[in-house]
């Protein structure tokens, strides 16, 4: 039986919140003491966005019925600020954003073991900021294929990455699905890539959030730090869309993350990631397969008055309300979390990602090397 449902949606959004300010001035000069560290020779959920095809179209002004809180106090001071720019949304970046490091997202490894979709370094004018080419691998099986020395792929990929990195100041590895049994292969892959890149290129690695070292952890912070200049701790995704509602990164979550990260990663190499995005959850599930009796029940409950037969198959429609709970991030919440890290002695923060932020957030960061510092 075909089930057709139209739903009118009521939004109940709980948010950490804020106001609007101006933007920071352009980068003047990067700090000293930002050379790559001493290295051994041997790292959805896109919600709340306007789709690209809708940008530029006339939008009717909407007056919000809610208000946001404004951050108070002094701006957060940073030595380094890293930000991610998607190549399909490069227009969302401009040089007034106070970033010392711009991560071009991203080149991918395809099923043939080839590096594809490499962003053009010339596509963005980033001034004196450093440029980093981000490399992603999108599945466990593909990651195993790339990391394992059993296949004739590993060294080919490393050479392709080194070649692609020629126009960039550095490379960042973002392999988020390393299989449990590939820990040694992953670490040795990082070591080999570090060696092939040479000391003149920056090398950074993204790692998931941790409260402690897990048993058989494929992302051992301290070990990975041996081979890279920076480790980017992705301190978000505390709550997922298919779980219970909650912040992408709560204050208590962030405190636990930074406590362990500081123990495992040298201060000079540690970058804590902050999210600009949020998520929503709906309490009503209307999709799925139904027994005849179950279909009759929901049709009766929703006061269906007509059944239409489409080529002999009964079909129905009804309207329903769905309560939606959302947790987002704005300037107030981002600054609130950044101050937790500042109080913990963190001087390097990265933002996922440029274009998702409350524009006023940049007034609340003073970054070394920028004219507003």
Active site residues: 176
Q: How far is CA 319 from CA 4, 34, 188, in A?
A: 10, 59, 56
Say how far residue 259 (Cα) sits from the centre of its chain: 21
Strand, helix or coil for residue 177: coil
DSSP 165: G
* Cβ neighbours around 163 below 10 Å, total: 11
Please choose, from the candidates 287, 194, 261, 283, the residue with its C-alpha nearest in 3D space to the C-alpha of residue 2.
287
CB 223 within 8 A of CB 182: no
In 3-state terms, what secondary structure has residue 271? strand
- Under 8 Å CB-to-CB from 359, ≥6 apart: which residues? 20, 23
Residues 124-160 as b or e (16 or more Cβ within 10 Å = b): bebeebbbbbbbbbeeeebbbbbbeeeeebbeebbeb
Closest-CA residue to 369 (of 1, 89, 112, 81): 81
């Amino acid at each position: 039986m075909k089930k057709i449902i139209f739903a009118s949606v009521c939004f109940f959004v709980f948010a950490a919140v804020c106001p609007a300010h101006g933007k920071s001035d352009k980068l003047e000069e990067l700090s000293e003491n930002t050379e790559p560290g001493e290295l051994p020779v041997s790292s959805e959920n896109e919600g709340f966005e306007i789709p690209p095809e809708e940008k530029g179209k006339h939008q009717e002004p909407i007056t919000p019925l809610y208000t946001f809180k404004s951050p108070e106090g002094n701006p957060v001071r940073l030595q380094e600020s890293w930000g991610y720019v998607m190549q399909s949304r490069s227009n969302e970046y401009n040089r007034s954003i106070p970033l010392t490091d711009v991560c071009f997202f991203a080149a991918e490894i395809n099923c043939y073991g080839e590096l594809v979709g490499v962003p053009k370094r010339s596509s963005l004018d980033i001034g004196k900021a450093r440029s980093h080419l981000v490399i992603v691998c999108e599945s466990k099986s593909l990651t195993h294929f790339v990391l394992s020395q059993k296949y004739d792929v590993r060294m080919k990929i490393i050479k392709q990455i080194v070649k692609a990195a020629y126009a960039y100041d550095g490379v960042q590895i973002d392999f988020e699905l390393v299989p449990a049994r590939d820990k040694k292969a992953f670490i040795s892959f990082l070591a080999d890539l570090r060696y092939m890149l040479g000391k003149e290129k920056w090398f950074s690695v993204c790692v998931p959030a941790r409260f402690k070292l897990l048993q058989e952890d494929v992302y051992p912070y301290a070990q990975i730090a041996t081979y890279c200049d920076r480790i980017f701790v992705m301190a978000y995704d505390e709550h997922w869309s298919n779980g219970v509602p909650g912040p992408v990164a709560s204050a208590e979550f962030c405190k636990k993350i930074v406590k362990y990260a500081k123990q495992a990663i040298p201060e000079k190499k540690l970058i804590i990631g902050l999210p600009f995005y949020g998520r929503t959850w709906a309490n009503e599930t209307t999709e799925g397969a139904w027994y005849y009796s179950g279909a009759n029940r929901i049709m009766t409950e929703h006061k269906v008055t007509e059944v239409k037969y489409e080529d002999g198959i009964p079909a129905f429609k009804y309207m329903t309300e769905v309560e939606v709970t959302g947790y987002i991030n704005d300037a107030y919440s981002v600054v609130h979390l950044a101050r937790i890290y500042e109080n913990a002695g963190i001087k390097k923060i990265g933002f996922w990602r440029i274009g998702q932020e409350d524009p006023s957030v940049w007034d609340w960061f003073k970054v070394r090397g920028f004219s507003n510092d």
